[in-house]
Structure 1
Amino acid sequence: MEQPADTSGPRDESPQVAVTVVRTGGFAGLKRTWEATADDPSTVDVWLGFADSLPWGATPREDPRSVDRFVYRIVIAVHSEVRHETTLPESALTGRWRDLVDRVQQQADGDGDSGQSPAPSR
């Protein structure tokens, strides 16, 4: 008789939360990617609380004067499944969106502790 699968362990090796920022465009059309991850439950809660508070459905219109500017694609994944995703022109990267991108860049570039939560809200 076949034994049931063991479901007591972690689902996979992916981090609980991954926040990915991909910047494309600019004069040279360069692409750069940053990713911040979190596994600690309290840090995961802070990242998700911060991410869930952002206006995901309010996609700004593209500014016709923004030729050769950067575009940012932001993806929040929980256990490798996309929870939130948006693409913002550089002109819309203000306030809490800017806070999120800055925090992800800092963690990915090693300027912050691994798993550190996003900046406090303003």
Structure 2
Amino acid sequence: MDSGRSGKDLRIGDPERERAMRLLGEHFSAGRLELAEYDERCRQASAARFGSELDVLFDDLPGPRPVETSPARNGVPTRPGPSAGAVALTVGAIAAGIALVLVARQIGVLLLIPIVAIIWFTWRRR
């Protein structure tokens, strides 16, 4: 294993390597890197296995990093929250279901099936 890695360094995949090379290309086109430096850093990026190996390539460059690490995330990918439309649809469906049960009793219970299906498919699609 690499002795230069620190802490819990996570492995990276092709998307992170490709983003690093794209960012290096932007720095090259902005004149921050010479051709030889750009070539060497791209070779290192394509061979990188861990996020820290990519971070070293950007230590002396401004701008975003190819692998964004935040202490709050601890390297765990986050899921986006539900959209406002999905929340509104779910709350509306639940309110309609409660109203159906209170007003229509037996038929309301049968009408709950499509409401439950709407909620299920809305949240499943996320």
Please confirm whether the aligned pair reaches a TM-score higher than 0.5, indicating the same fold: no
Greater share of residues in helix:
2
Task: Identify which of structures 1 and 2 has the higher relative contact order when contacts are C-alpha pairs closer than 8 Å and 6+ apart.
Answer: 1
Compute the TM-score of the two structures, normalised by the length of structure 2.
0.27
Greater share of residues in strand:
1
Decide which structure has the larger Cα Rg and report it.
2
Compute the TM-score of the two structures, normalised by the length of structure 1.
0.27
